[in-house]
Amino acid sequence: MALDYETPVDRIASGQSRARQIDTRSLAQGTCLVLIEAAGFAMNIVLVVLGLPLFAFLFLAGWDLGLLFAQLGNLADHYRLAEPVARHLFSQDLKVAFLFAGGGYALLRLPAFLRRLERRLAEGDRRHD
């Protein structure tokens, strides 16, 4: 009994390549689905992180918009009259706080997003032609 084996180089030389055809339609549909889901996930994160401080300040103001805008006016006056270094440090702190809040919330929601994305991609494997 002879040992018969075929290497990839042998297959290339004989022209019997086992290359699979790439289904471009399925690839394009999957790519579009991933991009749409990722955009929705990112916008959800941004809207929640930006809306959460508004909710907190409205809650602290007792749902009174007049009191909320009075406090915002007071904050704006203090910001306007502050020295440039203090303004810069305040804006940097605010940016860092929003980045940490957004990153933390995204990490919290990421497993559910990935499960949902996997389920939606698995649904697309079935042919609807």
Please state the separation of Cα 37 from the chain's center in Å: 9
**pLDDT confidence bin for 21, thresholds 50/70/90:** confident
Q: What is the tens place of the pLDDT at every residue in 82-120?
A: 999 999 999 999 999 999 999 999 999 999 999 999 999
Distance CA 53, CA 118 (A): 32
